Structure 1
Amino acid sequence: MGKRNQERRRAKKKQRDARQRARAEQEGAFDAASGFGGCDCGDPFCGVGGGASVPRPRGPRTVADLLDEAMDEVCAIPPADTARREAALGRAAALFTKAGMGRAVLAAGSEVLHAVWHRGWQPADMVRAARRELKARHGRLAADLIAAEQRAYPTPSTGLDGRWAAQLATLSAEVWWGDDDAYLAGAAAREKCQPTVLGRAWVELLDLLSGLPEIPQLMPPPCEAGSGTAPGGSGVEAPVLAKVRGLLAKAESTEFPEEAEALTAKAQQLMAQHSINAALLDAEQDTRQVPGGVRVGVDTPYEEPKVHLLQAVAEANRCRTVWSRNLGFSTVVGFASDARAVELLYTSLLVQAQSALHAAGSRTYRDGASRTRSYRQSFLTAYATRIAQRLSRATEQATKAAGEDHGPGLLPVLASRAEAVDDQVDEWFAELSYNRSQTHARDREGWAHGTVAANRAQLHGQADALR
């Protein structure tokens, strides 16, 4: 990084710190008990600092009161204190045999979820966290909770962000039950478990959600739908991305490597050309679009080679990635269509790699011990390395060809967009640390097969295709 660039970054960091201090003074002290930030949405049930507090009515304790007290007890016990925590979870789970608990838990969960959205989380992120940290059952309950909470917000036709609505559709977050009082019985039947077992899962889920950290806000939460366009654009997919999606779907489904190669090459060609055309159009119209972000799940096992594959695709498409290892995702930062194209291409490449791994089967040493894990780790590492080389070369060729068509004015435009992406990363990830992690590839056969798979998946003849 050049000296002038470092000075510019330091100056921008000082400005961000000053803005953050000013916001903190305006919003008041952070509520350490709940971990919620400020919210100006006006929802009285928000519980995020900006909404008005709702006093608890006097009189006999309701099931909602009992649930609140039980959750307070569970959340106050450190995870390391397993004995006390197990006892508290058992007492909370026993409450789920009481009448009216279905409505109470959905209402309590909606309040927690409303705060989670204001800490930057999205529906897909939240369900992923529930499945990753707990179990698949918790992920299904999380989808139920999202469906119940979304009833209070606008429909897509009246202002809900299209990207948010698309996540709801992907998660099948729909109200499948009738009256909320009947929810627990229906959920217990679906999960094939007793009410107390379901109750424990619910308490574990609410405890998890209450402790989720604050992350960058990539799109407006549903209570702010219609308040303005967030960075990254709307949920309307550009026509070129629809074509890319179709090409990659065919590449994944074909049994012929040469056909998959040609289809993927054409998809990368369209993405590269669209990115350059969009940059030139923005410069010509002086629209000054702001980069946005997309979160991409990075699941176990073999996270590091998967992250390197995603990084390779992102860099080839003028984006940057930040891996949140403990949260199970990477954030792709870039202009709207570029970031979505990265997500599409990465997903397709990973599907192709996993298909090749499945076809390769397991591996053993001569003594019969398994070396499947070492083989697959090496395979994916080689795959990501080779893809990075080929995509980098393809991007250079595309830029050179476009420069010949558009003249010397192209490079300053692309440099300006790259700087905007860097600035957005600095703003969202002020405490970002850079660590060149080393991936392990100890299996010679896995490395060789991964390289071959990458060659088949990507970009033969790309230079000719781009011209």
Structure 2
Amino acid sequence: MPASRLRHHGRVSNDSSQTAVRLWERALDGLLGAPPKRADRALDDGASLLAASADQWPLTGQALLVLGERSLGSLWARGWRPADLARLVRRDLAGDHLALLTGLVAGEARRHAPAALDRRWREQLQELGAEQTWWDGDERFLPEFAERHRLDRFALATTALELLALLARLPVLAPVGPVPGGAQRAEHRSTVPSPDEPRMLGRIRALLAKAESTEYPQEAEALTAKAQQLMAQHSIDEALLAAGRPPGSEGSATPGAVRLGVENPYEGPKAMLLDAVAAANRCRVVWAKEFSFCTVIGFDPDLDAVELLYTSLLVQATAAMHKAGSRQHLDGASRTRAFRQSFLVSYAARIRERLTEATERTTREAAAGRHLREDGTAEQLLPDSRLLPALAAREQAVDSATEQMFPKLTSQRVRVSDGEGWAAGRAAADRAALHPRKRLR
């Protein structure tokens, strides 16, 4: 029987393939069970075992895809998503581990029709480059990967074992969406531009692009505030629409969640910036420092707004921080880290003030019947007594969802120790403009 027929989408068809899978399991168990002082030896022994036979190498690759499907399927059921794994692999492993993860994710994704994946899952596959497989037959997986990355069999087996060991040690997470093939929530708008994007979001993007391109800080601040006002109006409109629907009816909504990467350096101030953006858009943030991400809980239109704003503000804050340069004490010792830490904390604090002010102003005007159109102009309508109760109900729903997902939360303070950094960060936040260059995960 040709090797290409031995396996299809994770199903092993003969004893040789089963033996190859057990060989991976034996090597992985040896690595996971080894005491820290013997971990390197266990890794070398396992890789040597897997790479020993050139004739069995194609079958070893097929077995790795089988084991990858099992491992990833278990992780999806335990709350992990493709972008979460990619972020962790980039942080904790060097070399070709991310490319190998991408291949395994692409192999596992073959099991699911696109319709069985929610919108955010499909976007993560696209960003990871795992929408489709690149190898010609599963027996060619490891040989083609080795050729692409110029690895010998031992080096590639070592890389695979290190990756599988990292995945095997991951805990259960609170889920932020349906697993592939699971019950689907209603599809919602993407933060990626599309031809049929709602005009309100198109207007917001235009304002943000103009704000970032201007050389005048006051103009940028005004455009930024206008963009946040439009986002707030968009959220208000959604709240009023939902208030008119019976609970549980088609089109009714419940809070959802997304995870956004918050990584070193200065992950504390970055989490503060995300929290500032989320609070202004009626969302909650929970930071998982050990995994370098934050979970944002809110209604879908608000989650999209948070992703859009945070991504742009983080890029701008980083650029402004580096433009401000390094700093030294009088004795010549570096104080750059303290300066930049204080810079970003101040930046986040000022952004919170700006966005909150814009949201509150829009809410007051909407309660009085003043409605912001999609083109940015205003119209006077009759006051709607449902608005404030509807917004309060949505905030309560978000709080309840957060408490249900994370019943034990603690707070953490971020230290500010450089007054110059604080002043520079606040000034940079006043100049900040928003533009969605890319999505951040």
TM-score (normalizing by structure 2): 0.83
Q: Is the CA contact 1:153–1:160 (under 8 Å) kept in the aligned structure 2?
A: yes
Aligned positions of 1:234-383 closer than 5 A: 234=188, 239=198, 240-245=200-205, 247-249=207-209, 251-252=211-212, 256-286=216-246, 287=249, 288-383=252-347
Instruction: Give the partner amino acid of 2:107.
Output: A
Aligned positions of 1:382-461 closer than 5 A: 382-405=346-369, 406-430=383-407, 432-435=408-411, 437-457=412-432
User: Are residues 122 and 193 of structure 1, via their aligned partners in 2, closer, same or farther at CA, if it must alter by over 3 Å?
Assistant: same
Deviations 1:357-379 (A, max 9, x none): 12222222233322211111010
Q: Is the CA contact 1:241–1:337 (under 8 Å) kept in the aligned structure 2?
A: no
Q: Is the CA contact 2:78–2:171 (under 8 Å) kept in the aligned structure 1?
A: yes
**Partners in 2 of 1:141 and 1:395 — Cα distance?**
44
User: How far off is 1:243 after superposition?
Assistant: 4.3
**Partners in 1 of 2:239 and 2:17 — Cα distance?**
64
**Partners in 2 of 1:55 and 1:146 — Cα distance?**
18
Q: Is the CA contact 2:83–2:124 (under 8 Å) kept in the aligned structure 1?
A: yes
User: Are residues 180 and 57 of structure 1, via their aligned partners in 2, closer, same or farther at CA, if it must alter by over 3 Å?
Assistant: closer
Aligned positions of 1:121-140 closer than 5 A: 121-135=80-94, 137-140=96-99
**Could you say which residue in structure 2 is the equivalent of 1:229?**
185
Aligned positions of 1:36-185 closer than 5 A: 62-77=19-34, 81-94=35-48, 95-98=50-53, 99=57, 100-135=59-94, 137-155=96-114, 158-173=115-130, 174-185=132-143
User: How far off is 1:115 after superposition?
Assistant: 0.6
Q: Equivalent residue of 1:361, what SS?
A: coil
User: How far off is 1:253 after superposition?
Assistant: 5.4
Q: Equivalent residue of 2:173, what SS?
A: coil
**Could you say which residue in structure 1 is the equivalent of 2:172?**
214
Deviations 1:415-448 (A, max 9, x none): 1111111111122112x2232x221221222111
User: Are residues 59 and 222 of structure 1, via their aligned partners in 2, closer, same or farther at CA, if it must alter by over 3 Å?
Assistant: closer
Q: Equivalent residue of 1:285, what SS?
A: coil
Which portions of structure 1, spanning 4 or more consecutive aligned residues, are displaced by more than 6 angstroms?
Answer: 54-61
User: Are residues 275 and 60 of structure 1, via their aligned partners in 2, closer, same or farther at CA, if it must alter by over 3 Å?
Assistant: closer
**Partners in 2 of 1:458 and 1:60 — Cα distance?**
56
Q: Is the CA contact 2:211–2:433 (under 8 Å) kept in the aligned structure 1?
A: no
- Range with bigger deviation, 114-123 or 83-92: 83-92
**Could you say which residue in structure 1 is the equivalent of 2:439?**
none
**Partners in 2 of 1:383 and 1:403 — Cα distance?**
30
User: How far off is 1:59 after superposition?
Assistant: 7.9
Q: Is the CA contact 1:319–1:333 (under 8 Å) kept in the aligned structure 2?
A: yes
- Range with bigger deviation, 244-253 or 335-344: 244-253
Which structure 2 segments of 5+ residues have no match? 1-7, 192-196, 370-382, 435-441
**Could you say which residue in structure 1 is the equivalent of 2:374?**
none
Q: Equivalent residue of 1:294, what SS?
A: strand
Q: Is the CA contact 2:204–2:230 (under 8 Å) kept in the aligned structure 1?
A: yes
Q: Is the CA contact 1:163–1:234 (under 8 Å) kept in the aligned structure 2?
A: no
**Partners in 2 of 1:400 and 1:389 — Cα distance?**
16
Instruction: Give the partner amino acid of 2:171.
Output: P
**Could you say which residue in structure 1 is the equivalent of 2:373?**
none
Q: Is the CA contact 1:248–1:348 (under 8 Å) kept in the aligned structure 2?
A: no
Q: Is the CA contact 1:261–1:458 (under 8 Å) kept in the aligned structure 2?
A: yes
User: How far off is 1:45 after superposition?
Assistant: 9.3
**Partners in 1 of 2:36 and 2:32 — Cα distance?**
13
- Range with bigger deviation, 264-273 or 361-370: 361-370
User: How far off is 1:256 after superposition?
Assistant: 4.9
**Partners in 1 of 2:77 and 2:163 — Cα distance?**
18
Q: Is the CA contact 1:379–1:448 (under 8 Å) kept in the aligned structure 2?
A: yes
Q: Is the CA contact 2:9–2:108 (under 8 Å) kept in the aligned structure 1?
A: no
Which structure 1 segments of 5+ residues have no match? 1-43, 47-53, 460-467
**Could you say which residue in structure 2 is the equivalent of 1:195?**
153
Aligned positions of 1:5-24 closer than 5 A: none
Identity %: 46
User: Are residues 366 and 110 of structure 1, via their aligned partners in 2, closer, same or farther at CA, if it must alter by over 3 Å?
Assistant: same
Deviations 1:328-357 (A, max 9, x none): 111110000101111110111111111111
Higher relative CO (Cα under 8 Å, sequence separation at least 6) belongs to 2
Q: Equivalent residue of 1:222, what SS?
A: coil
TM-score (normalizing by structure 1): 0.79
Q: Is the CA contact 1:241–1:341 (under 8 Å) kept in the aligned structure 2?
A: no
Deviations 1:386-417 (A, max 9, x none): 11122222222111111111344321111111
**Could you say which residue in structure 2 is the equivalent of 1:7?**
none
Q: Equivalent residue of 2:176, what SS?
A: coil
User: How far off is 1:247 after superposition?
Assistant: 4.1
Q: Is the CA contact 2:118–2:180 (under 8 Å) kept in the aligned structure 1?
A: yes
Q: Is the CA contact 1:249–1:348 (under 8 Å) kept in the aligned structure 2?
A: no
User: Are residues 171 and 253 of structure 1, via their aligned partners in 2, closer, same or farther at CA, if it must alter by over 3 Å?
Assistant: farther
User: Are residues 186 and 322 of structure 1, via their aligned partners in 2, closer, same or farther at CA, if it must alter by over 3 Å?
Assistant: same
User: How far off is 1:285 after superposition?
Assistant: 2.6
Q: Is the CA contact 2:258–2:295 (under 8 Å) kept in the aligned structure 1?
A: yes
- Range with bigger deviation, 276-285 or 437-446: 437-446
Instruction: Give the partner amino acid of 1:451.
Output: R
User: Are residues 58 and 348 of structure 1, via their aligned partners in 2, closer, same or farther at CA, if it must alter by over 3 Å?
Assistant: closer
**Partners in 2 of 1:175 and 1:60 — Cα distance?**
21
Q: Is the CA contact 1:363–1:371 (under 8 Å) kept in the aligned structure 2?
A: yes
User: Are residues 60 and 270 of structure 1, via their aligned partners in 2, closer, same or farther at CA, if it must alter by over 3 Å?
Assistant: closer
Q: How many pairs are equivalent?
A: 398
